[in-house]
Structure 1
């Protein structure tokens, strides 16, 4: 039931109702005219009294303009009964949805997708919860933590704390990798930060394009934005190797197509005019990736990949992929 109107309309509705009670069933139009009410006021009072259940609409056998009054106690009991019925219906719907959620989580997420794989996704909308998740990932990492950052990092205390955290991770034996936007290497404060990270043992790379903020921990946890275009919407924390594997593949592609911080373009190419595609292919090959995965990461067919690798071998003056990998490593292309 709708909330009744307030102000003059309610005062008029009360006066009209009291008059209706004193007269019983009567002609509504005649009564409102007698009380000097305008058509608009009369209609407003009609709607309000009807919503409160204080009047009954004419039945099929009644005159269209005849109106019957309902006792306030009866109207109240009817309203309470209606609300109780509505609450029971909403509770029933909630129970049905909860059962569906349990079925989805219990049967499909855990049992139907990846066998024996725990998969969980948590939406983090509170800045404090996001900060806590970042701390948890850093405190619990055992083997590797990898991150990429498309935007500029805050300077000052933030960078100092980041270096302290990286130092603790390196000291604990963890492998730390980071990808940043290439253009931020021209910012003195950030260039100094990248250099100090490298001195600590962090592997730092720069890329022309970094698709989104992402942090991966032990290939089991992934923290990334809900909407990369609107960071204020919060973050998504994914748990479980089966789910994180896709994010790891994206990160690995960005890693293999990025450049080692501190190297000039000429040093990175080793004096050879390799294209970005050729360079990425030989890096992925050196990392032990299979042809199918390399082709999929580069968005090309296996036949095209074969041609790309043949061009690399020709440029290196080798006759086998193994020899090409060794030669590329000596030139520093796989770093």
Structure 2
């Protein structure tokens, strides 16, 4: 009976060791007799015998000796339970040889599988698919095929995943997405997502956004989201066939020559959206800017170059660059274009 502290396992190992030591002293002996002499539990006989044979420490024998090949093939018939002892070093070397053979078999099997896949790839890959110049568009009508395509894409992402969503994700999908977010971010993937701002009215959706932000996803809200879209590494894009009718299926686009166009649309939507939870700048209403910074911002929004802004304000070009950097920081913008868009939306340019 196990005590829960491993003592039963120790006792078992000790009995196997005692049995093997006695057999080794005798060289060849009747295992049943030795078992009785050592007063080992009879119910353990078959187990101990099997353990010693599996470890290669004993070999059944009688008038004819059983080789390991005979034992593996199951062709050897034993008489009385007589066994011959094998030296531990020999048993270890034999076991290592078996492992090497097993590994060699696995490697051979892997080589065969690789050769088969290589032949299939050579037959089905389209010209240009490896150098990134090829373009392919596939219509996905089956929901299961769409989900499989999304899983396949997310498994090969290395750098960037960008998505936009007209509505919030259902609870079941959201849980899978959160798990995937964490795994990809740990692998160094940058994840961005745009949602329609109306979904924050739902506490459940707002909680989902908060949890995504916590794991490192960059999320922005927009008053207008043109469609659902997923873009991966400028190589894949998934978007709906029909914006309103989800049953119409999806389009899977492959190849950077085409995907870059969808990415340009995404970047425009990204720069005009508001970071989720970033309401500090809106509350300030521009009060954090100096008159000079406000003037520089208005001139920037009107399309003036830095040199002209510097001449208009009577300051150096370096001062203009510093002021605009401060304005971007005040707005929480990552680019001058984004700063202008956000300033206009917040009424700072009036």
| Alignment size in residue pairs | 195
CA contact (8 A) 2:140 2:251 kept: yes
Report deviation, 1:130: 0.2
CA deviation map 1:178-222 (0-9, x unaligned): 000101112101101111111100001100010000000001111
CA deviation map 1:73-118 (0-9, x unaligned): xxxxxxxxxxxxxxxxxxxxxxxxxxxxxxxxx9xx97xxxx9711
Change (3 A) 1:326 1:190: same
Structure 1 segments (4+ residues) deviating >4 Å: 317-321
Change (3 A) 1:253 1:269: farther
Paired position in structure 2 for 1:163:
178
Report deviation, 1:157: 2.3
What TM-score, normalized to structure 2?
0.49
1:197 aligns with 2:212: yes
What TM-score, normalized to structure 1?
0.51
Q: 1:268 & 1:334 partners in 2: Cα distance?
A: 12
CA contact (8 A) 1:219 1:244 kept: yes
Paired position in structure 2 for 1:297:
none
CA deviation map 1:276-299 (0-9, x unaligned): xxxxxx8xx9xxxxxxxxxxxxxx
Paired position in structure 1 for 2:333:
334
Q: 2:168 & 2:232 partners in 1: Cα distance?
A: 22
Change (3 A) 1:322 1:200: same
CA-based RMSD:
3.6
Report deviation, 1:223: 0.5
Report deviation, 1:272: 1.8
1:258 aligns with 2:273: yes
Partner residue of 2:232 out of 203, 217, 225: 217
Report deviation, 1:333: 2.3
SS at match of 1:331: helix
Change (3 A) 1:318 1:121: farther
Q: 1:216 & 1:304 partners in 2: Cα distance?
A: 32
